[in-house]
Amino acid sequence: MSEKMSESEFHEKMAKDLFNKTWNLIEKKDRTPEEDMEMIHSAHTSSYHWYQIGKPINFQRGEWQISRVYAILKQSEACMYHAKRCMELTEEHKIQGFDLAFAYEAMARGNSISGVAQEKEKYLKLAKEAVEKIEDKEDKKYTLSEIATIN
């Protein structure tokens, strides 16, 4: 028999499960249009649950993931909206390291799909500078590999 979850435990479980589900859909090759919609909804729903019980780092990561989803789907306006929100949270809460680099990555990716080359280059440079300050070698390597996928 399973134990009853508290409201905060429920929100945390849903936030994590939906973040991971979204990530699986992001990585999936040949998504169907239905899976694209599921990816959008799962990213937003994960973020919603984090906003109920999380901390600023959770909000920032949620906004980053939503931005990534819209970048993949080439929906520049929604992508930039969430990339900017991610950046605002990063600055407001002085978030550093891995998450700072990914906030810049979101801005670079959003500007790339929006066709704003100068801003894309600005944020790519900032992302690479932030990566240099990441201490964990695997995090550094992974972050650079993601930045390298921006066209």
Please report how the helices 33-53 and 7-27 are oriented relative to each other, as an axis angle in degrees rounded to 10.
150
Predicted TM-score (pTM) of the model is: 0.94
CA distances from 74 to 37, 112, 114, 138 (A): 13, 10, 9, 29
Domains, in order of start, for the chain: 7-147 (1.25.40.10)
CA distance 20 to 135: 25
Using an 8 Å Cβ cutoff, are 90 and 103 in contact?
A: yes
Using an 8 Å Cβ cutoff, are 26 and 68 in contact?
A: yes
Confidence of residue 2 (pLDDT cuts 50, 70, 90): low
CA distance 49 to 12: 7
Annotate 73-116 with DSSP letters as a single string.
TT-HHHHHHHHHHHHHHHHHTT--HHHHHHHHHHHHHHHHHHT-
Write the pLDDT tens digit of every residue in 23-61.
Answer: 999 999 999 999 999 999 999 999 999 999 999 999 999
Write the pLDDT tens digit of every residue in 90-118.
Answer: 999 999 999 999 999 999 999 999 999 99
